[in-house]
Amino acid sequence: MNFTYLESLNNGLIGALTANPNVYLIGEDLNDPYGGAFKVSKGASYARPTQVISTPISESAFTGLGTGMAIRGMRPVIEIMFGDFITLCTDQILNGATKFTTMYGKALEVPLLIRTPMGGGRGYGPTHSQSIEKMFLGIPNLTVVSPSLGHNPGNLLRQSIENITNPLLFVEYKSLYPKKLISSDEIINIREVENPEKHPVVLAKNFTSGEPDVIVITYGGGSEQLFEVMRSLAIDEIRIEGVLPSRIDLKGEPPWWFDLIKTDIPIIVAEHGTPGTTWGTEIASLLYESFFSTLTMPIRRLSCADEVIPAKVSLESSMMLTSEKLSQAVIEMLG
Amino acid sequence: MNRLPSKKKIFEKMLLIRKVELKLLDLYARGFIRGTVHTCIGQEGCAVGVISAIDIKTDIIFSNHRGHGHYLAYCDDVKGLIAEILGSSEGASAGVGGSQHLHNNNFYSNGIQGAGVPVAVGMGLAEKFTGSNSVTLAFLGDGTFGEGVIYESFNLAALLKSPILFIVESNGYAQSTPTHLQHSGDFGKRAEPFGIPITIIDGSRVEEIIKITKKIIQDIRSGLGPQILYLNTYRVAPHSKGDDFRDQDEIIRMSKLHDPLTPLAQEINKLEREQIEESIELRIQKILNELGINL
């Protein structure tokens, strides 16, 4: 039961392939025994050999390939080896897959799912460590989903593969792959709140009664730092409520889970990725728009630095969102 | 094997495309059309030749920014096309897509150079997986050979044996730039390393295109993998609207050499030709009246 993020995704992916012969997995180096660079796809080609297409290094073409297959009734899952490489697919996503859904004046189903790992923390250096999903958060007809350690990533992946009618970008965090999923324990209480669109929000608390001192809103890879800080500050009885949405695209409307947020408490919006025009800035802006009259405390944003992600470990952590930086921000918010 | 359509029928289809596009240019000049109009005047033989050779019910077409001819040869939806370009909600794409974004049954188009090519390879593959026996056609131009994604797509198509025919309408120009100023080497050899057979013919010889395409489609349908049909043609009209800086002598000389209508017109008697022309003009006029356009 106590799966890692990676094992959960692997189960969800193979489950989706096994359940529906129209699901195809497409990407580089997928064939077993190698099973894809990060092993989310491991065992897929053994289990469903005719549904796995191991491709040449041609991200643009195989994203287009998947789009064509999706238009003609298949449910392709594209694996992009590193999130950084999704720039190579951008034309196909922006000017192709997402446009086909509405640009012919009638609805056309394009059930294309693209999954890719973002983030640093593993020493891959500047072109293999970024979190660039912010570039994809405002594209019409593109849903972006990123599970945290508090979610069930495999279920979320499988449900997305099975239910989508429009393209979906599924952002995994490579730093989370080896981590155990978090469930409630003596320090942290986890509650998953469902919504009709099946993009659950996880609410996490490091206290049992009363109001939090600080609310931290984050997603995906940010959950690692959030849970570490919740544990370490529980000792000092600093009460943190974590809010972890799984759907992160924003189209100018407040997300449904804003109803779950108390507005008279300081809020930190934390994320990986470089600062400037980000998920966090949009969330902060929407919070001000939605709750201006009831906000009594400041909203603070945290992200990685405005620089490349270095390879050397000390330099890398100096640029990234770390537990230390999040912890310090929480303490500063308490005044 | 299906018989070839009659000369009269082929001529009629090509003339319909020609007359519709001349009318579109006229409408543009009079301010009825926003955006742009990429016509295929001079290239009608490619559209009608290739599309006359396929199974309209089951085969798939992925067209490009210069797709009016392909669209009309596929579905004869003159009103849907004109209405779309006029920006009417009665248009083929309800006024959303405009000239470059058309969809009707198994016909799709997109305005990004080369971007539709991998999508078409995927459509072909999906049909192969479902065992439908359909062949997919992807139209591209010589200018499209500047886009890297088409080489990725050639490789994938050959590797996965996608049942697809790439049709290259080589009209000598990419927008305003002649081919020799933007491409090195021999186009005929560009797909050779991928093991994709290429057939190079004159794009104005419609009946030959139909015969050869039928044979190629048959091979692809039987599982032999992708092929390229390379059609040498000439774009008589400007890239779009009226912005043409080409040498007028060249246009006249090349039009004489490559106009697909000229050789067929000589094989149809004058009376029949005039009847065809008149009925097409009446049809277009009726559609314009229905759309409330009074010239």
Q: Give me the mean pLDDT over the A164-183 stretch.
A: 98
- Cβ pair B209, B45 in contact under 8 A: yes
Would the CB atoms of A69 and B112 count as touching at under 8 Å? no
- Mean per-residue pLDDT, B112-127: 98
Query: Which of A55, A76, A106 lies at the smallest CB-CB distance from B156?
Result: A55
Can you read off the two tokens belonging to residue B118? Answer: 């991998």
- Whether residues A64 and B103 touch (CB distance < 8 A) is answered with no
Question: CB contact, 8 Å: A167 with chain B?
Answer: no
**ipTM higher than 0.90?**
yes
How many CA atoms lie less than 13 Å away from A300 in the CB half-sphere? 18
Q: Residue B32: how many CB atoms within 10 A of its CB? A: 16
Dist CA B213 CA B219 (whole Å): 10
What is the distance between the alpha carbons of residues B281 and B273, in angstroms, rounded to a whole number?
12
Say how many CB pairs under 8 Å bridge A and B. 121
Side chain identity at residue A211, one-letter code: E
Q: Using CA atoms, how far apart are residues A213 and A320, in angstroms rounded to an integer?
A: 25
Looking at residue B239, its pLDDT comes to: 80
Portion of chain B with pLDDT greater than 90, in percent: 88
Interval B47-60 mean pLDDT = 98
Q: DSSP per residue over A143-209, as a string?
A: EEE---TTS-HHHHHHHHHHH-SS-EEEEEETTTTTSBPP---SS-EEEEE--TTS--EEEEES-SS
Q: How many residues does chain B have?
A: 295
One-letter amino acid for residue B10 of the chain? I
Nearest CB to A67 within list B91, B102, B122:
B122
Confidence of residue B243 (pLDDT cuts 50, 70, 90): confident
pLDDT at residue B2 in the model: 58
A93: contact with B, CB 8 A cutoff: no
For all residues of chain A together, what is the average pLDDT?
A: 97
CA distance B50 to B29: 31
Gap between the Cα atoms of B291 and B287, Å rounded: 6
Contact A86, A279 (CB under 8 A): no
* Chain B residue with minimum CA distance to A106: B93
> Is the CB of A66 less than 8 angstroms away from the CB of B160?
no
Cis previous bond, A33, omega within 30:
yes
Most distant pair of Cα atoms in chain B: their distance? 54
Residue pair A226/A244 in contact (Cβ under 8 Å)? The answer is: yes
Query: Residue B21 has which token pair?
Result: 């596009």
Whether A96 and chain B come into contact, CB under 8 Å, resolves to: yes
Q: Which residues pair with A202 in a beta bridge?
A: A192, A244
Place of tokens 């009309």: B72
